[in-house]
Structure 1
């Protein structure tokens, strides 16, 4: 007995309804509204921060997210870091160790900059990231916005950073 024999006489009598994807949004208000109470922890306005985060979560680069938000790429990276987005630092793990040595007073800034092979802007951003923690309330505010792929892609780049000639150029 084959499939044709089994299916003989079967006919469709009703249509299936397309109900779309099921979503759960347990957030109260927009991202801007959730950012407003924590505006002092953001390096820009809550509106610009929300635009940068929302744009970045669609897979765009930090630079493009900054452009859409009307802020500098450095500011967008700071926003993403404060909101708990992993891997916004332009330095590899080993270069971050060198930066920490400089912050701890074990190296001069000139030596640390040379050893990290970073530009002034990359070094400044990495310093900000090392000296400013992410904010738990901002992380909670974007929790439903960030996709697992966003942080996974960045984490993969972070792990592979040592194998790249210029980790800061990777998006």
Structure 2
């Protein structure tokens, strides 16, 4: 049996093919604050403040410096960083967290847990928050993609290329 015999009797059921484009969502041009807007109701500060916190922290600023720059308390900075997926905000070691975990389970008093953890009240309460709140799903990916050096390089290349195109307001490649 050949193709002609197989195709015999097949009729076209549509008269026009539907044109389908490639579905894509490109958030690379959206500012980090806008991209964090979907998490705004679960963040301890505004999305704009969260974006500033993430940028400041990623640039190497300490918790107090970030707090001063953004205008939110240091504990809020730490909570925000944890929710955005930064792993370096846990103030207590594994051993120090054990009494806090016992307090959270109702096996110790808060005062006893703080004393046994050998940390400050603030450190223990922040550790308790981190132990009882998971990072926001997808938030770390948003922050990493927005703050990665590759992203910055891609944006710089795109902007440089855009400046060479006609209609960009600057002279194009031909100098026209």
Contact 1:81/1:134 (CA < 8 Å) preserved in 2? Answer: yes
User: CA RMSD, aligned part only?
Assistant: 2.0
TM-score (norm 2): 0.65
1:20-169 aligned within 5 A? 27-145=28-146
Larger RCO, structure (CA 8 Å, separation 6 or more): 1
TM-fit CA distance, 1:87: 2.4
- Deviation by residue 1:72-119 (Cα, 9 ceiling, x = unmatched): 111010010000100201111111122111111222212111011121
Query: For 1:107 and 1:82, how far apart are their aligned partners in 2?
Result: 27
* TM-aligned CA deviation for residue 62 of structure 1: 1.3
- In structure 2, the residue corresponding to 1:84 is in which secondary structure? coil
TM-score, length basis structure 1: 0.67
Please tell me whether Structure 1 or Structure 2 has the larger radius of gyration of its CA atoms.
2
Contact 2:98 2:117 in 1 (8 A): no
5+ residue gaps, structure 1, are 1-24, 148-171
Q: Are the structure 2 counterparts of residues 105 and 47 from structure 1 closer, same or farther at C-alpha, using a change threshold of 3 Å?
A: same
Q: 1:94 to 1:52 in 2, by over 3 A?
A: same
The separation in 1 between residues aligned to 2:105 and 2:64, in whole angstroms, is: 30
Q: Matches of 1:26 and 1:35 in 2, distance apart?
A: 11
